[in-house]
Amino acid sequence: MRVIGGELRGRRLKAPEGDATRPTSDRVRESLFNILAGRVDGAAFLDAYAGTGAVGIEALSRGARACVFVESGRGVTRSLRSNLASLGLEDRSRVMPVPFARAAILLSKEGAPFDLIFLDPPYGPGELLRALRLASSRRLLAPGGILVAEHDESLSVPSAEGRLRLSRTVRYGRTSLSFFREDVDSGTKHP
């Protein structure tokens, strides 16, 4: 696994041994950042269910001003912290080693919403819907921001969850990326 673009392009990332994570493939990450294009530079980024941190690290490499990584797996968090340290990204990063439900509460209380949110919960029934509900109810997305959910292509994704509205879904083999925006202005341009 490696960083695909930006200032850290080509740098390798460490992954923990075993199947504790399901890293987002290089192809899917590249497509995601091609879609997000100029929105990453200067953005506050949230990488929830971060695993090794590949997506958030990619965002930092492409100019995000800061990234919060939420990952509750102890061994996985060690790999994540090691990746951030080896790439010199600790000053622009925050690791929250807690479940996403707890992180959502804490981040909501801090009151600083994110321009871009990436959710990659474990594939399975109900987990994605719970994550979307938390992000919506805790108002983690800034006005005009985009939330992207990675999921198995067979999973049925709601067209709306709270204030979040699905704007598009793209497929890459068995993996899909669903893009949500906050339903504030129906005239808002979608990615």
Which domains are present in the chain? 6-15+23-182 (3.40.50.150)
* Orientation of helix 26-36 relative to helix 54-61, angle to 10°: 40
Query: What is the C-alpha to C-alpha distance for residues 28 and 86, in angstroms, rounded to an integer?
Result: 24
- 110 contacts: CB under 8 Å, gap ≥ 6: none
**pLDDT tens over the chain, length 191 residues:** 889 999 999 999 988 765 545 577 888 999 999 999 889 999 999 999 999 999 999 999 999 999 999 999 888 999 999 999 999 999 999 999 999 999 999 999 998 799 999 999 987 778 899 999 999 999 999 999 999 999 999 998 999 999 999 999 999 999 999 999 987 653 444 45
Continuous H helices in the chain: 26-36, 54-61, 74-86, 100-110, 127-137
- 67 contacts: CB under 8 Å, gap ≥ 6: 44, 45, 46, 47, 56, 57, 59, 60, 89, 92, 93, 94
